[in-house]
Amino acid sequence: MKIKAFDDADVIVVGAGLGGSAAAVHLAECGLNVLVLDAGPEPAAAEAARPRTRLRRLLSRIGHKIGLSRPDPSYVSYFTRSSDGHGTAKPVLVRHGRGPGGSSALYAAALSRFRRVDFTRSKPGTAANPALPNDWPINYDEFANYYRCAEAMMGVRGHSDPADPDDLAQLLPPPPLGPEALVIHDALTANGLKPFRLHVAIDYHAGCAECFGYRCQSACKSDAYNHALRQAVESGLLRLRTDATIDRIEVDARGVRLRLAGTGDVLRASRLVLAAGALNTPLLLERSEDLWRETGRPAMLSRGLMFHLSEAFTVRTPVDATVVPRKWLCLRDFYDEGKISIGEIQSTGATVSTGAIMHVLRMRAVKRISRTLMPLVEFLRPAAWTAARLIGPLAIYATITEDLPHPQNMVREEGNRIVACYTPDPDLVAISTAKRAQIRAAFAPLPVRFLSEPGTPNWGHPMGTCRMGTDPATSVVDADGRLHGHPMISVADASAFPSSGGTGPSLTVIAHALRVASVIASEIGEFAEEEQRIAG
């Protein structure tokens, strides 16, 4: 079937992270003319600009905080205010990826499925702090095949959850556990729990370091670029344009137009897929006033922001914690305990280090001191270095507690910066405090030490700002990811999530994007066949 080409593409995909890459490759494999746009640089250019010495790397990470250098462009600074939008904006420095691969270039490669209950159960919140509807307009069974495709695409390893009959993932075998992992596994099992191997997209080549927080140079850790987009670009299956920032979206009878910032370029396509992430996708839609002249902006656009709440902790064992694989544990015994539960407990892949201690100090300081005094925290680095060596190389574990979508939690632009107006649900914070005893009991007799404050948001997991649903009054996109009122525009990232689930969002982002792409390919194919029939 030959499909009519539009001026620039059949489909333009904005964002080359997990969602954008998955959608783009699937659409191109269906025979569509696909153009991918990303605001970041080519990976080769980003790597060439990466500091080569330890001193330069240190300055790139912290120098801008004390006035010695510009910020590392791989970091994204955004600010938080209380959810009422008032008060002093507190800076949050989060390392989101820029360029092809997006944040998957930096992530820890954990790719777990949501459970069935995440799709079907709506948690209402409380009378004082009600949540938006958070059941999905589709069910687990409609998602299962896309989960399988996502796992195959990324080469996921691990073991199935022994307590979940729906976990039928066909996974590659993981490497054997090291001595520290075996001690913890035995302690959990002795306490009646069911630990299993975390689902990770890591091949574990010789010398693998798991590359948590930075791009893997050997493609041992699967990301959206090295396991999907790169091969498609190099083979000519689709086109990629980097350093392309979208100013706004416009629509007409033929489809969509994108106006690029700084260049004046205008690109056209019959369909548009937005996958710029839950902080950027809604802001791009907000800026695109042409979309809302007749219908007005959706009431929930940019609202319902969720992050997950995480408790970071160490578990002391008498053996070495530096042996790879460090990212091995998944514990879901507390995943579904009713109204509010701990969620998943997993290995982060990180160990107690100078950087980890500095991160904890920054997170605690931002709540207690003014923004102007924040640079002083960086002078604690020598003390953090000493502490890391005294404590020892302990592995860090974390909970992933489901956040709830409250309408007052939102993202917006203030000048040229992103501001998340967000306050953690106080009930979730209280539960996080109460559940610490449960976590300690799970790992007993091994001692547990918590590193974070109760209810700490995982700033790297933004979700929910273009939420999916059947009612335009409480959602932004429909069950297939199409923008209410503008079906030629689809959203294929975590901003479409109506709930956050009790595990990381990465695999569900890929599965959702594949599903969105399948719908678009089917619709454009039907349009092309009808056009050919009419033309005779």
Domain count, the chain: 1
Select from 226, 182, 176 the least CA-distant residue to 204.
176
Whether 383 is in a domain gets the answer: no
Whether 378 is in a domain gets the answer: no
Percent of the chain with pLDDT over 70: 85
Please give the pLDDT value at position 354: 66
Select from 100, 22, 17 the least CA-distant residue to 517.
22
Task: State the average pLDDT over residues 227-245.
Answer: 95
Whether 347 is in a domain gets the answer: yes
**Span of 184-193, 215-224, 264-273 with lowest mean pLDDT:** 215-224
Please give the pLDDT value at position 368: 67
> For residue range 94-117, what is the model confidence (pLDDT) as tens digits?
777 788 999 998 899 999 999 999
DSSP-assigned letters across all residues of 362-399? HHHHTTTS-GGGGGGGGGGHHHHHHHHHHH-S-EEEEE
Give 395 or 229, the one with higher predicted confidence: 229
Please give the pLDDT value at position 7: 57
Give 72 or 23, the one with higher predicted confidence: 23
**Span of 37-41, 198-202, 366-370 with lowest mean pLDDT:** 366-370
- Please report, for the domain that includes residue 212, its CATH number: 3.50.50.60
Task: State the average pLDDT over residues 279-302.
Answer: 95
Please give the pLDDT value at position 476: 98
Whether 357 is in a domain gets the answer: no
Whether 380 is in a domain gets the answer: no
Distance CA(101)–CA(246), nearest Å, equals: 18
Task: State the average pLDDT over residues 437-455.
Answer: 94
Confidence of residue 536 (pLDDT cuts 50, 70, 90): very low
Q: Which two tokens stand for residue 240?
A: 């990629």
Please give the pLDDT value at position 535: 39
Q: Range of 151's domain?
A: 9-352+392-531
Whether 461 is in a domain gets the answer: yes
Task: State the average pLDDT over residues 324-341.
Answer: 87
Whether 379 is in a domain gets the answer: no
Task: State the average pLDDT over residues 382-399.
Answer: 78
Confidence of residue 67 (pLDDT cuts 50, 70, 90): very low
56 has pLDDT over 50: yes
Please give the pLDDT value at position 165: 94
Distance CA(514)–CA(442), nearest Å, equals: 37
Confidence of residue 248 (pLDDT cuts 50, 70, 90): very high
64 has pLDDT over 50: no
Give 22 or 46, the one with higher predicted confidence: 22
Calculate the CA 113 to chain-centre distance.
13
Please give the pLDDT value at position 3: 38
Q: What is the pTM of this model?
A: 0.90
Please give the pLDDT value at position 362: 72
